[in-house]
């Protein structure tokens, strides 16, 4: 298969040096990409800023959600599946200053607007292809993850709890469309990455 994988955070700048982001390290997305490559799949890894050495795959580096959206929607047309493991920042500053505003004693107010929904865009266009979404949840975790899966038209959703961020291990829960939640498993992210790739293979085999 040819698999598109997103990984890492995005950064939404409000001036040349300051930005809004989150604590994602990209470990999960990179582990999925490495596992997919090891299993013989052709991988396109679209990654936000990380400190991880990438596996030997087709690597596309981006910074913002808009850049990731453009690359993902353009490249998905040649893929069989997409695994959306990136922690895309939900909002971006409406205005990006051309230069760094000086610090002052007064407040700095930043107006925000939503970033593009990359997973939903691929879900809308997927046809017979597979799209696997990710959800990082805390309160009402299962219900919110299921809502996300349906709204974004994913074939399956992989849910992690908040404590998985910046951790080498995570408790992974998977729900496939039309099926009950599978039993949670707590593994390091290398092992979790293999499970997610196997899920993509399973779903793709059923759609052939």
pLDDT at site 165: 63
**The pLDDT value given to residue 81:** 98
Please return the burial class of 108, using the count of CB atoms within 10 Å of its CB with bins 0-12, 13-18 and 19+. exposed
Active-site annotation, residues: 22
Task: Map out the domains of the chain as residue ranges.
Answer: 2-94+111-206
pLDDT of residue 169: 72
Q: Residue-wise over 163-189: b if at least 16 C-beta within 10 A, else e?
A: ebbebeebebbbbbeeeeeeeeeeeeb
pTM, full prediction: 0.93
Q: With respect to CATH, is domain 2-94+111-206 assigned 3.40.50.10300?
A: yes
Contact by Cβ (8 Å): 61, 44: no
Per-residue pLDDT for the chain (208 aa), expressed as one digit of tens each? 999 999 999 999 999 999 999 988 999 999 999 999 999 999 999 999 999 998 999 999 999 999 999 999 999 999 999 999 999 999 999 999 899 888 776 777 889 999 999 999 999 999 999 999 999 877 888 999 999 999 999 999 999 876 656 666 788 899 999 999 999 998 898 999 999 999 999 999 987 6
Q: What is the model's pLDDT at position 102?
A: 81
Regarding beta strands 12-13 and 91-93, do their DSSP bridges make them parallel or antiparallel, or are they unpaired?
unpaired
């Amino acid at each position: 298969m040819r698999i598109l994988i997103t990984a890492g955070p995005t950064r939404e700048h409000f001036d040349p040096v300051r930005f809004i982001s989150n604590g994602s390290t990209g470990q999960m997305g990179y582990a999925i990409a490495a596992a997919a490559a090891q299993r013989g799949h052709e991988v396109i890894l679209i990654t936000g800023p990380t400190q991880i050495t990438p596996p030997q795959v087709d690597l596309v580096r981006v910074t913002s959600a808009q850049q990731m959206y453009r690359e993902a929607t353009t490249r998905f047309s040649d893929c069989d599946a997409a695994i959306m493991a990136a922690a895309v920042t939900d909002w971006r500053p409406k205005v990006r200053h051309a230069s760094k505003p000086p610090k002052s004693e007064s407040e700095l107010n930043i107006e925000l607007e939503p970033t593009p929904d990359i997973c939903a865009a691929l879900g809308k266009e997927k046809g017979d292809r597979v799209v696997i979404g990710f959800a990082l949840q805390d309160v009402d975790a299962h219900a919110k993850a299921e809502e996300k899966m349906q709204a974004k038209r994913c074939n399956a959703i992989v849910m992690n709890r908040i404590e998985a961020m910046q951790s080498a291990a995570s408790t992974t829960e998977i729900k496939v469309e039309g099926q009950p939640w599978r039993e949670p498993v707590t593994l390091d992210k290398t092992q979790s990455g293999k499970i997610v790739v196997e899920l993509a293979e399973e779903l793709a085999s059923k759609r052939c």
